């Protein structure tokens, strides 16, 4: 009996040392995540969601609730841009566009008639070397025709890493900056900007949403260091300051959000099911909330006096909280079989619970 007790204690110590959860109940997970994130950093996520979600007004016309565009989608990856674009619509954006390659367009169109799909991007295999300059100019001109209509861009879901395609997207980012369009950069977009930080440096309307591995690359490239989990908030603050003038949403057990001035945490319990595509929902969600926060100029009431005023930070907090709530509801219903499409179907209910549409 004593021997087994000692073994149990050693097992519990090992689990704690490795950052695991000794008791796998949802309540204990929530408590441990909250303790890890630190209550002083915890964002007032539900009140922020209520504050920046616009009321439904019959006097408003199509487009006033948000026009989002996703730059992404290639032969191999068609699901990611769809997840980001459809999530924006499910939350309440009026229009959602996808700019993708010609091969990806018919597939993405088949997923939903609600999306406006533009098959304008090109990959190296379809362009001869002598045509690349002309083709790049044509791609940029096609996107430019639409840019000023959008309230926010999502750059990267399903983009792939084709060199010519990434060159074209680099030019799109430069033009988006010139027209002051907010942009959420995720997935292969982060692969692009990690080695080309000048594209987003000192642009206050840019949001980066790195996962664990993407964050490691950023820290290594920018701070020339390894990720320090013991001092995560301060390291994130240093990273945001070093890049300059943008917002970073570091995804993890608790999402950390920083604009170089403040660090906020969202540790609402989500789901233990880690199906691919949840980051795409997040990028689409953040894009909508950033555009809403910016559009309204966000009047902060007394309950939000201590909240950040930066619309990109507010949008990240709202997007993170809503995804986590939707993932929790989906997992309650589907358990191990939960898929990204299940989570998307609960976005409306999660938002309705917090900010009713009446």
Express as a percent the part of the chain with pLDDT over 70: 86
For tokens 């841009």, name the residue.
81
Q: State the pLDDT at residue 60.
A: 82
Q: State the pLDDT at residue 282.
A: 98
**CB contact at 8 A, 344 and 42:** no
**CATH number assigned to the domain comprising residue 102:** 3.40.1190.20
10 versus 310: the higher-pLDDT residue is: 310
The verdict on residue 131 lying in a domain is yes
Q: State the pLDDT at residue 254.
A: 95
Q: State the pLDDT at residue 309.
A: 78
Separation CA 315–CA 293 (nearest Å): 7
Identify the burial level of 49 via C-beta atoms within 10 angstroms of its C-beta, where 0-12 means exposed, 13-18 middle and 19 or more buried. buried
Mean pLDDT in residue range 95-108: 97
Q: State the pLDDT at residue 121.
A: 97
Bind-site residues for ATP = 251-255, 270-279
Per-residue pLDDT band for 4 (boundaries 50, 70, 90) equals: very low
DSSP 276: T
Per-residue pLDDT band for 307 (boundaries 50, 70, 90) equals: low
Q: State the pLDDT at residue 64.
A: 82
Mean pLDDT in residue range 312-329: 97
62 versus 34: the higher-pLDDT residue is: 62
Strand order of the β-sheet with 263-266 is 116-121, 95-101, 67-71, 152-155, 183-185, 206-208, 247-250, 255-258, 263-266
Per-residue pLDDT band for 5 (boundaries 50, 70, 90) equals: very low
How many separate domains does the chain show?
1
Mean pLDDT in residue range 7-35: 41
Q: Determine the 3-state secondary structure of 8 from DSSP.
A: helix
Residue range 171-214, pLDDT digits in tens: 999 999 999 999 999 999 999 999 999 999 999 999 999 999 99
The verdict on residue 166 lying in a domain is yes
Q: State the pLDDT at residue 338.
A: 96
Q: Is residue 65 scored above 90 in pLDDT?
A: no
The verdict on residue 79 lying in a domain is yes
Residue range 156-183, pLDDT digits in tens: 999 999 999 999 999 999 999 999 999 9
Q: Is residue 15 scored above 70 in pLDDT?
A: no
The verdict on residue 35 lying in a domain is no
Please name which of 119, 64, 102, 108 lies closest in space to residue 85, comparing C-alpha atoms.
108
Mean pLDDT in residue range 78-93: 98
Bind-site residues for (6S)-NADPHX = 158, 211-217, 280
Per-residue pLDDT band for 299 (boundaries 50, 70, 90) equals: very low
Strand duo 255-258 + 263-266: pairing: antiparallel
The verdict on residue 6 lying in a domain is no
Q: State the pLDDT at residue 61.
A: 81
Mean pLDDT in residue range 58-76: 90
Name the phi and psi angles at 3, rounded to 5.
Answer: -60, -45
Q: Determine the 3-state secondary structure of 120 from DSSP.
A: strand
Domain housing 215: 60-353
Q: State the pLDDT at residue 59.
A: 81
Bind-site residues = 158, 211-217, 251-255, 270-280
Cα 78 vs. chain centroid, distance in angstroms? 17
211 Cβ contact partners less than 8 Å away, ≥ 6 residues apart: 251, 279
The verdict on residue 30 lying in a domain is no
Q: Is residue 115 scored above 90 in pLDDT?
A: yes
The verdict on residue 20 lying in a domain is no
The verdict on residue 220 lying in a domain is yes
For the chain, where are the E strands, in sequence order?
Answer: 67-71, 95-101, 116-121, 152-155, 183-185, 206-208, 247-250, 255-258, 263-266
Express as a percent the part of the chain with pLDDT over 90: 78
Per-residue pLDDT band for 40 (boundaries 50, 70, 90) equals: confident
Q: Is residue 29 scored above 60 in pLDDT?
A: no
Q: Which residues of 85-115 are buried (b: 16+ CB within 10 A; e: fewer)?
A: bbbbbbbbbbbbbbbbbebbbebbbebeeeb
Q: What is the 3-state secondary structure (H, E, C) of 170-201?
A: HHHHHHHHHCCCCEEECCHHHHHHHCCHHHCC
Please name which of 227, 319, 281 lies closest in space to residue 84, comparing C-alpha atoms.
281
Separation CA 217–CA 194 (nearest Å): 7
Q: Is residue 36 scored above 60 in pLDDT?
A: no
């Amino acid at each position: 009996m004593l021997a087994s007790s000692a073994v149990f204690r050693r097992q519990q110590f090992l689990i704690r040392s490795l950052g695991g959860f000794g008791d796998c109940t949802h309540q204990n997970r929530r408590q441990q995540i909250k303790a890890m994130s630190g209550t002083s950093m915890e964002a007032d996520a539900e009140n922020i969601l209520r504050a920046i979600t616009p009321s439904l007004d019959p006097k408003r016309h199509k487009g006033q609730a948000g026009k989002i565009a996703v730059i992404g989608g290639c032969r191999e990856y068609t699901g990611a841009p769809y997840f980001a674009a459809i999530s924006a619509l499910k939350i309440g954006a009026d229009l959602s566009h996808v700019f993708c390659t010609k091969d990806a367009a018919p597939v993405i169109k088949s997923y939903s008639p609600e999306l406006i799909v533009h098959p304008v991007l090109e990959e190296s295999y379809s362009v001869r070397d002598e045509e690349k300059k002309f083709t790049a100019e044509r791609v940029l001109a096609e996107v430019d025709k639409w840019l000023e209509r959008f309230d926010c861009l999502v750059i990267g879901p399903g983009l792939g890493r084709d060199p010519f395609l990434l060159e074209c997207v680099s030019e799109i980012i430069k033009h988006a900056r010139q027209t002051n369009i907010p942009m959420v950069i995720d997935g292969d977009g982060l692969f692009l900007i990690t080695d080309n930080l000048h594209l987003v440096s000192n642009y206050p309307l840019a949001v980066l949403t790195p996962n664990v591995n993407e964050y490691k690359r950023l820290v290594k490239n920018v701070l020339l260091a390894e990720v320090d989990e013991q001092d995560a908030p301060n390291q994130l603050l240093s990273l945001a300051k070093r890049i300059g003038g943008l917002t970073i949403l570091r995804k993890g057990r608790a999402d950390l959000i920083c604009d170089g001035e403040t660090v906020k945490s969202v540790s609402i319990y989500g789901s233990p099911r880690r199906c691919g595509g949840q980051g795409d929902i997040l990028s689409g969600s953040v894009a909508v909330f950033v555009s809403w926060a910016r559009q309204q100029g966000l009047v902060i009431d007394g309950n939000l006096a201590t909240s950040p005023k930066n619309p990109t930070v507010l949008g990240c907090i709202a997007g993170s909280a809503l995804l986590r709530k939707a993932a929790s509801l989906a997992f309650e219903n589907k358990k191990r079989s939960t898929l990204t499409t299940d989570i998307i179907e609960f976005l409306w209910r999660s938002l309705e619970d917090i900010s009713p549409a009446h």
